[in-house]
Amino acid sequence: MAAPCRLISRLAVVSGGGSGIGRAVCQRFASEGASVVVVDCNEEAANKTLELLPHDRGQKHVSLGMDVSLRKNVEQLINSVQTQYFQPPSICVSAAGITQDEFLLKMEEEDFDKVIQVNLKGTFLLTQAVSKAIVSAGISKGSLITVGSIVGKVGNIGQFNYTASKAGVQGLTRTAAKELSRYGIRCNCILPGFIASPMTENIPEKVMSKITPFILMGRMGKPAEVADVCAFLASDDSLYITGVSIEVAGGLFIG
């Protein structure tokens, strides 16, 4: 079956696009016809993603190395996108994220702050900048997708900072949906479970073997399986969906 082409003429910004889930999202969006702005703090990784993107539908992709947790960078990003493309992005996926795991009793304040700064504030800055650009351009359609985590709902030992950041992402997405629906902008959050990516590659085998029995699908997910859901949320196939969180977790912790 031919891949769908639901994103022709759309412009998408994807943070964390240099790796794992973000890279898979860039690939999926490009294969569906979107022009993609690949953003990552690792410039080399962002450039590598750029090389992987198909452009057989006349799209123009670009990559950019930048830290999404700094307002100045995010504002410059959106200005430069508008200058290059003569339009704001109408799709945004905030997938940049980090972990700094430690038990609550041992966690340093700076490790708490760093994770909140990237995962929560970075999502706020990008979501705000893209929505402002869409509203001032008078575009009547936008899809903003944030990346939370299943552990933001249920908690996870050793991830006091990360779970707080991801619960926050879910909350801000619902609020964004309430405030932005009047402008035709939909905002949804995806909650991945355990997805095989550089972020999870150091989880010890003995820990994964304890988690796997709680995953109905009996395995970790693939970044492309998360990208499938992002493409659905970005496309007109989900025009009546906003303010929701979608678990992409293979049935983890449902019972």
User: How far is CA 56 from its chain centroid?
Assistant: 24
Stretch that binds ligand NAP, among 17-25, 75-83, 102-110, 134-142 (CB under 6 A): 17-25
Q: Which of residues 43-102 bind ligand NAP (CB under 6 A)?
A: 45, 67-69, 95-98
CB of 16 to ligand NAP, least distance (A): 3
Q: Is 162 a catalytic residue?
A: yes
**Among the listed residues 155, 198, 218, 251, the single contact to ligand NAP using CB under 6 A:** 198
Stretch that binds ligand NAP, among 4-12, 128-136, 173-181, 188-196 (CB under 6 A): 188-196
Question: Alpha carbon of 7 to those of 57, 170, 221: distances in Å?
Answer: 11, 25, 24
Q: Which pair of tokens denotes residue 50? A: 């750029």
CB of 25 to ligand NAP, least distance (A): 9
Q: Which of residues 130-169 bind ligand NAP (CB under 6 A)?
A: 147, 149
**Among the listed residues 41, 93, 227, 233, the single contact to ligand NAP using CB under 6 A:** 41
CB of 118 to ligand NAP, least distance (A): 4
Give every CB contact of residue 24 below 8 A, 6+ residues apart in sequence. Answer: 222, 223, 224, 226, 227
- Residue whose token pair is 């550089």: 198
Candidate list 85, 162, 183, 240, residue with the active-site label = 162
CB of 153 to ligand NAP, least distance (A): 11
- Residue whose token pair is 């569906």: 32
Rule CB under 6 A: say whether 21 interacts with ligand NAP.
yes
Residue 249 contacts residue 151 (beta carbons within 8 Å): no
Q: Note the helical H segments in 67-159.
A: 71-85, 109-115, 122-137, 151-154
CB of 134 to ligand NAP, least distance (A): 21
Total binding residues for ligand NAP by CB under 6 A?
Answer: 29
N- to C-terminal Cα separation, the chain: 34
Rule CB under 6 A: say whether 195 interacts with ligand NAP.
yes
Q: Is 173 helix (H, G, I), strand (E, B) or coil?
A: helix
The HSE-up count of residue 177 (CA atoms within 13 Å, CB side) is 19
User: Which residues are tagged catalytic?
Assistant: 162
